[in-house]
Each structure stands twice: as structure tokens, then as C-alpha cells.
Amino acid sequence: MQQTISRPVVVERAVEERTAPQRPPRALTADFVRVVLFTCVVIAHSVNGIAYGPDELQATSLLGVMLHVTRYGFVAVTLFVLVLSTRGRTVSPVTFWRRRFGLVVGPYLVWSVIYMVSPHLIGRDDPFPSAGSFVGDTAHAIATGEAKYQLYFLLISMQIYLAFPVLAWLFKRTENRPWWVVGTAAVIQVGMFSVYQYLPRPTGPVWNVVYENLWKTLPMYALFIAIGGVAAQHYEQLEEWLREHTLGVVVACAAGAAVSIVWFFCATSFDDVPPGVTSPWNAAFLPWWVASFVLLWLGATWWDAMRRAGHRVGARTVSAATLRAFGVFAVHPLILDLLARFGFFGELFARFPDSGTARGAALVAATLLLSLLAVEVLLRTPFSKWLVARDRIPMRRQTPTPTTA
């Protein structure tokens, strides 16, 4: 017997649907940018793992410092997604922390322990230390993000989540002064860069500890925190402005990038190379990091416009890659360690003795492929949330149970 719904109930539901707060649309531009940045992380770490000849060192060093855009780009994307997802809604700090911290704390702890154990399991002549030493070393690595070279970013992510209620309040209070926010943040970040790049290292054990870990704190990323938050606040206006001023944005970004690149070649063309040329806090490369991120975002905006217009531009590929991106980020150093342990690096040198570029390209391809295969396995384990920060994918697709009338 068919159930009937009275007219007052229908009207009431319609009113509820109209008055309920609308969840902001998912910005696939952020997914596109995130996938590209994660890929660049694998490229950067693979390039660092291969020796290059004298003729390739300058170009390789330039590539390495250019790819530091990943750390700053990740911060901007993280703030963009958080601000956009909470825009127009009131979320209590406790609710926000409960939802967000679990996404990163679990994987961070698990991978920190894995990377503290793995060298002793796959390395040669590297036995386990005493239980007390191992526990102490692991606790220190977890506190400082030093269990592996990429895990510091999860430490930064946790700081962003912790500070986000305050950041969201600041963005709301300064909503009508976006350039003031970006300018102030730029001053803070350049100041932090100057401390590391130009000022003498402090003395004393306490100051040494502070100095060693200060670059993992939010002030070092202030400009990109502001860029991500302001872009989310003014998302629709920004999209329209980028469409109307695409040529000018490209020209400005190309000019900024050229400044950094020309400076690098000038600085490295003499025997007396300035210290810290390739450091991730060299202020001379800040124009490149900002320009390359803006160009990447512009490309993602163009891609998303093509997708919405009905063109086949790899939307499914981007969605699939987004699901696996964190897992690749987490597991790829382990893949690199295993490739080195089982002789793949030596094989690359035997096949390409005179070309570091060929060795690097082959290592990037192998690392990406094996990392993706590892993530496919991890996604189907009961521990997928702890390992790749994603819900488990069933081993087999469940077929719908037929229903009878």
C-alpha cells in the first residue's frame, strides 16, 4: 500500500531544505594542486637520492630548491580547504579538533614508529639499540618530527589544526582587508627567513634546541597561511578575477620566477658561493615559491573550468590520486630505502653511468609506481585509517542484494 504524505509535511520539509546551512562545494582545484604537490615531493626526494655529475649539479641544485614550493604550497592548500569548509558556519573548537586531529595524529604516530624501526630491519650493520635508547630516540623523533625527512609536515599540520580556531577568527575580523593580512604575513615570514639565512646561529643548549625546531613552526609559513585563508574567504571573487586577469597574472608570476632563477645562476656561477643558496628559507627564492604556487593554482582553475564544462580532462584520475596522495607521501621514503637496500640504485648507475638525469627520471618513476602499489594494499587493510588516513576499501565490490516486491 502506497504511503501518502500530507501537504503540511511537504511544505515543512521544503522550508527546512531552504533554510538549512548549505555545505560549501568541494573545490576540486585544491585536489588538483594537492596531487601535483605530492608528486613533486616524490620527485624532490628521489632527485636527492641520486648522485649527479659536475655538469648537472647546478641544474639539480636549482630543481631541488625550486621544489621547496611543496612545503609552502601544502600549507596554503590546507588553510584554503579548512577556511572554505567552515565558511559561513560556526564550528566550536572542540568539535573541530575532535574531527581533524584524528586524521593526522594516528598516521603520524604510526609512521614515526615505522621509520624508527625500518632502518634496523632493512639496513646493514644497524642493530637495534637497547630498549631504553630506542624508546627515548622514538619519543624525541615524534616530538620533533624527525623520524623521517617528510614527517615534519604532519607536525606543521597539527599546529595548523590547533591554531585554526584563532586563525579563523582573525580571517573573519580582517575579511575586508585582505591585502593588509597578506602584507603583514609576508613581513613575518621574511623576518623568519632572515633569522635562519642571515643571522648567526645562537649559542647555548636551550637556544640550539629552539633554533633547530623553529622552522617547523607556523611563523615560518605565515605568508602561505594568509594566502590560503584569504583565497578561501574570497573564493568566488578570486576565481572571477583570475579569469579576467589571466595574462597579467602569468606575466607577473613569470617575472617573479625569473628574479629568483637569475639570482641563483648569478650566485652559483662563481667559486665563492654564498652559504644557504639552496636552503628552504632563502628569501631570494620567495618570489619563485609564490609565483609557482599561483601558476599552479591558475592551471588548476583552468582545469576545473574545463571539467565543469563537460570536457574529459582526467577528473576521475585526479579523484583517484587524491584518495591515494597522503599514502604516497607517507610511504615513498620507505620505498626509496628498500630500492637502495636491494641494489636498484646500483643498477641505475650501471645502466646510466653518464646521465644523472636518466637515473633520476627512472628512480622517480619506480618510486611513484611502487608507492602507489603499496598504497593500494594498505587501503585494503583494517588499518587503512592509521596508515593512509582513508577509510578501508573492500577487497571485493559488494553486489546489491535483490529485493522482492
Could you tell me the residue range of the domain that residue 216 belongs to? 81-222
Domain count, the chain: 1
Instruction: Please indicate, yes or no, if residue 212 is contained in any of the structural domains.
Output: yes
DSSP collapsed to 3 states, 364-386:
HHHHHHHHHHHHHHHCCCCCHHH
Instruction: Please indicate, yes or no, if residue 324 is contained in any of the structural domains.
Output: no
Distances (CA, A) of 366 to 93, 115, 239: 42, 20, 37
The 3-state DSSP class for residue 138 equals: helix
Instruction: Please indicate, yes or no, if residue 383 is contained in any of the structural domains.
Output: no
The 3-state DSSP class for residue 174 equals: coil
Instruction: Please indicate, yes or no, if residue 61 is contained in any of the structural domains.
Output: no
Instruction: Please indicate, yes or no, if residue 133 is contained in any of the structural domains.
Output: yes
Assess contact for 231 and 238: CB atoms under 8 A: yes
Give dist(CA 351, CA 345) in Å, integer: 10
Assess contact for 37 and 224: CB atoms under 8 A: no
226: amino acid identity, one letter = A
- List CB contacts of 148: < 8 A, sequence separation 6 or more: 111, 112, 115, 333
Q: Roughly how many angstroms between the first and final C-alpha of the chain, as a whole number?
A: 11
Give dist(CA 369, CA 331) in Å, integer: 12
pLDDT given at position 254: 97
Instruction: Please indicate, yes or no, if residue 19 is contained in any of the structural domains.
Output: no
Q: What value, to the nearest 5°, has the Cα angle with vertex 342 and ends 338 and 346?
A: 110
**pLDDT tens sequence for the chain (405 residues):** 444 444 444 444 443 344 344 444 456 899 999 999 999 999 999 988 787 766 677 888 899 999 999 999 999 999 999 999 888 888 888 989 988 888 899 999 999 999 999 999 987 777 888 999 999 999 999 999 999 999 999 999 999 999 999 999 999 999 999 999 999 999 999 999 999 988 888 888 878 888 889 999 999 999 999 999 999 999 989 989 998 999 999 999 999 999 999 999 998 887 667 778 889 999 999 999 999 999 999 999 999 888 888 888 888 999 999 999 999 999 999 999 999 999 999 999 999 888 888 899 999 999 999 999 999 999 999 999 999 999 898 876 655 555 544
Give dist(CA 41, CA 146) in Å, integer: 17
Instruction: Please indicate, yes or no, if residue 251 is contained in any of the structural domains.
Output: no
Entry pTM:
0.88
The 3-state DSSP class for residue 329 equals: helix
Instruction: Please indicate, yes or no, if residue 404 is contained in any of the structural domains.
Output: no
